[in-house]
Amino acid sequence: MKLLKLFVAYEKDSDVKLLIMKGNGRAFSAGGDVAAVVQSVTQGHWTLGAEFFRNEYTLNYIIATYSKPQVSILDGIVMGGGAGISIHGRFRVVTEKTVFAMPETALGFFPDIGASYFLSRLPGFFGEYVGLTGARLDGAEMLACGLATHFVPSMNLTYLEDLLTKVETSDPFVICAIIDQFSKMVPLKVSSAYNRLDIIDKCFSKETVEDIISALEKESASMADEWIVVAIQELKKASPISLKITLRSIREGRLQGVDRCLMKDFRLCCHILRFEASKDFSEGCRAILVDKDRNPKWEPSRLDLVDSKVLDQYFAEVDDPNWEDLKLPSRCSLDVKFVSKI
């Protein structure tokens, strides 16, 4: 809420030419405190958690349609909600310390914060790979796929910030030129999954999660790449219903604007918080974040047990006459900032 108020105030302030977003510590942001959200739901009412997401998604939308340039300096971990307050902005600067992931399927949730908008716009089917497996990307991989706009060595960030704070214009080309002075191209590691985009496209373009896993297993029989083994392991460990929700959400995101993606996310999270068909979000948080036994008991326990009609309900309006869908503020600028290639 503090960030939301600041973004609204700074957009109206003519003295503010650009915004610099950075982390206060070793991480940029590891995301929202989802364990606290689940606790508030189990001890109180599902609407308590839903209001948190309503405010978060509103902030994401304001960032995505902001009239002034935002420079996000991602010098460390960027996950979940941390991606929501950075990837939607115009400039995303990564370093050798950057680690990006959307690990929600392991928690019984789904990549929200409008992720179906930017993941679906990555080259090929790389977005499905990142969203379903929760794969961790380094700075070079983020730059290669378009999640980042610039790679700046960490040691040069102080100099970059110093120049940016002296800018007296909101012209994105001027700001881009400043970042370009410190930016460099970096090669991908030999082991990077992005080097095998052909295999990723072949497998993750399949229609169902089951078919994706089968395709990966067939490929792994003839190649010993670590990324493909890890991908299969992560898919088999994740919540089955979360995987189904995630794949459908990303596929739909290709044909949706960022506003529709965020409104869809809000419906999905409301159904999840209501524990209508599954308590996987609560169970995932328990197993990964609270008890840390890393042994969640998913329900449904297998992909083939996920009812397609139940899945449809997750994408439908919440059946509660006292509840409202996400209503995003009207914006003068609909110049959405995320572009997978600059």
- Kindly report, residue by residue over 256-313, the tens digit of the pLDDT: 999 999 999 999 999 999 998 899 999 999 999 889 999 999 999 999 999 999 999 9
Residue 338 pLDDT > 90, yes or no? no
pLDDT category of residue 342 using cuts at 50, 70 and 90: very low
Q: Any residues with CB less than 8 A from the CB of 286 and at least 6 apart, and which?
A: 296
81 part of the active site: yes
pLDDT of residue 333: 57
Domain assignments of the chain as residue spans, ordered by start: 1-315
C-alpha dist (Å) from residue 162 to 20, 93, 211: 11, 15, 50
CB atoms within 10 A of CB 132: 27
> Of 112, 219, 265, 283, which residue is the catalytic one?
112
> Of 49, 76, 80, 81, which residue is the catalytic one?
81
Name residue, tokens 């739901």.
41
Evaluate whether the domain defined by 1-315 bears CATH number 3.10.20.30: no
Q: Any residues with CB less than 8 A from the CB of 110 and at least 6 apart, and which?
A: 104, 242, 245, 246, 249, 265, 268, 272
The pLDDT tens digits of the residues spanning 168-183 come to: 999 999 999 999 999 9
Q: Residue 84: which of 115, 50, 62 has the closest Cα?
A: 115
> Of 56, 75, 104, 259, which residue is the catalytic one?
104
H-type helices in the chain, by residue range?
2-12, 34-43, 46-64, 81-84, 115-119, 126-133, 139-145, 157-164, 172-180, 197-204, 209-220, 226-237, 240-253, 258-273, 280-285, 308-314
Residue 330, both tokens: 């009207």
Mean pLDDT of all residues in 137-158? 98
> Of 23, 31, 32, 49, which residue is the catalytic one?
32
Q: Which residues sit opposite 91 in a β-bridge?
A: 71
pLDDT of residue 284: 95
217 part of the active site: no
Residue 2, both tokens: 């503090």
Query: Could you tell me the pTM of the whole model?
Result: 0.95
104 part of the active site: yes
Give the chain's mean pLDDT.
94
112 part of the active site: yes
